[in-house]
Amino acid sequence: MAQRLQTNEIDRQLPVGEEVFLDHVGHFIADPDTASAAFARAGFFPTPRSVQQNPGSHDAPSLTGTGNVTSMFLRGYVEALYKTADTPLGRELDLARERYAGIHLVAFAVSDAATAHRRLQSVAFRMRPLVHMERSVQTETGTDTAKFVVARTEPGQMVEGRVQVLTHESERAVWQPRWLSHPNGATGLIDLAIVTADIDEAAARFSRFLGRPSITNASGRFIKLDRGGVKLMTSQAFSRMAVGFDIPSLPYIGLYAISVRSILALRECLVRGGIEFVNHDKSVLARFPGELGVGGWLFVEKPDDIPWRAAQ
């Protein structure tokens, strides 16, 4: 039987035309094995680790400096990134982790990363050269290659972390059916929440980056995408929503929202895994295990049940 999403958003993995999706977020971590075990305790089904490479000439690709383990959903995914080589990306991971361990990568999917790269330059972002990346993946029938085209800003342009846009060129290799069912019932990545000292500046910059307007509400600003969204909030608003959560430094990517089939089943799974969580009206706020850094998951059955959307 085909799996169905409990969501009122676009029910498609990849964007077309000028659509922009929240594609994935990335924890910067020290050890892939302990991170994978932490995902599993929270009821996610992690993939094996994978090392990312830049395609080279004569079948000699070079290491990008990072590898990952992922949890793939019917829509989007999350990953834990670790250092594999002393490259600029590898050193960037180290520097980010010195500030805090947790979420430092946010990737937005577009249909044409080259076009997005030109658009970002046209709206005054300093951009790194367009990058073609790949990683070897095992499938049920052998080995395949996951390929991506990535557009990144120069350091300092998006101070929240490694904020990028990408185009997937190998959907089947990345979203293999065998990885898409999770004990906690997770079906998709929806939104992420960023804590910032200057809401107005961050909202204007993200709107320019994403080509979408920001909406003001009681808890901050929200940028709605064609699938998913970005919530920007003050430290005070975050502390009211995530009582007892530390804010290690600003800016801080503190939460991301995941859709699940059943909140009741999700709670039972978190209890079995020993994951700390708090029940809300239509959501569950769960703290990351320490192996994944500081921050947390906001689990809902429907996007409209996310507190920062309900406040709009």
pLDDT digit string (tens) for 137-151? 888 888 888 899 999
Q: What is the average pLDDT across 152-178?
A: 94
Q: What's the CA gap between 57 and 61, in Å, rounded?
A: 7
Contact in structure between 147 and 14 (CB atoms under 8 Å): no
pLDDT digit string (tens) for 29-79? 999 999 999 999 999 999 988 776 666 544 556 777 888 999 999 999 999
Q: What's the CA gap between 273 and 37, in Å, rounded?
A: 10
Q: Tell me the whole-structure pTM to 2 decimals.
A: 0.92
Higher pLDDT, 200 or 145: 200
Residue ranges of domains in the chain, CATH in brackets: 21-179 (3.10.180.10), 186-310 (3.10.180.10)
pLDDT digit string (tens) for 222-231? 999 999 999 9
Please check the confidence at residue 156 and state whether its pLDDT lies above 70: yes
Please check the confidence at residue 8 and state whether its pLDDT lies above 80: no
Q: Report the percentage of the chain scoring pLDDT > 90.
A: 78
pLDDT digit string (tens) for 114-126? 999 999 999 999 9
Q: Which two tokens stand for residue 123?
A: 């709206």
Residue 7: pLDDT band (50, 70, 90) is: very low
On average, the pLDDT of the chain sits at: 91
